[in-house]
Amino acid sequence: MGDYYKSDDLDKFATMGEEAPELWEKFMQYYGAVFAEGALSAREKALMALAVAHALQCPYCIDAYTRESLEKGADREQMTEAVHVAAAIRGGAALVHGVQMKNMINKLGF
């Protein structure tokens, strides 16, 4: 398990296309289109990706979208707020499942 999440591995991302070039090509085209300037700015999209990366806790994506957010002109405050959005939604999602817990308690208990 010690071989997981090495920084150098991010540079090898494209090797995922070696056995499936067409699928890779399609993914990359889609990926590029998603992050292009659109109704949302490229900076806003980078900050969203940064938040999602934290919610997913993907170290590759955290590294990549920290850099990308900086290179799209975001600063520490904006990036920290984005991570708090991820934390709030994750925390809220945990808490709101408490309602399910309560439903179950109510069903099982007196």
Partner 1 sequence: MATGLNMQPFLSGDSAEQLKLLRDQTGVQPFVDKLGENGLYPLRCNGISVLQVNLGKVCNMACKHCHVDAGPDRKESMSLEIVERCLQVLDGANIPVLDITGGAPELNPHLPLLIKEAVKMKRRVMVRTNLTVLEQDQNYHLVEYYAAHGVEVVASLPYYRESNTDRQRGRGAFIASLRVLRRLNSLGYGGEQGGLLLNLVYNPGGAFLPPAQQAIEAEFRRELQSRQGITFNQLLTITNVPVGRFLNFLWHSGNLENYLQRLAAVFNPAAAPRAMCRGMISVGWDGTLYDCDFNQMLGLACRNGQAGHPAHISSFNLEFLQQREVLLDNHCYACTAGSGSSCGGATADSCRTKK
- Rule CB under 8 A: is residue 5 a binding residue for partner 1? no
- For 51, residues 6+ apart whose C-beta sits below 8 A from its C-beta are 82, 83, 85, 86
**Shortest distance in whole angstroms from residue 73 CB to partner 1:** 4
Residues 71-90 that bind partner 1 (CB under 8 A): 71-73, 75-77
d(CA 93, CA 9): 31
Q: How far is CA 92 from CA 84, 100, 101, in A?
A: 12, 13, 14
Report the SS3 class of residue 17: helix
Total residues at the site for partner 1 (CB under 8 A)?
Answer: 22
Residue 35 near residue 46, CB atoms below 8 Å:
yes
**Shortest distance in whole angstroms from residue 37 CB to partner 1:** 7
Looking at 21, 32, 96, 99, which residue binds partner 1 (CB under 8 A)?
Answer: 32
Which positions lie near partner 1, rule CB under 8 A? 7-8, 10, 13, 28, 31-32, 35, 37, 41-43, 64, 67-68, 70-73, 75-77
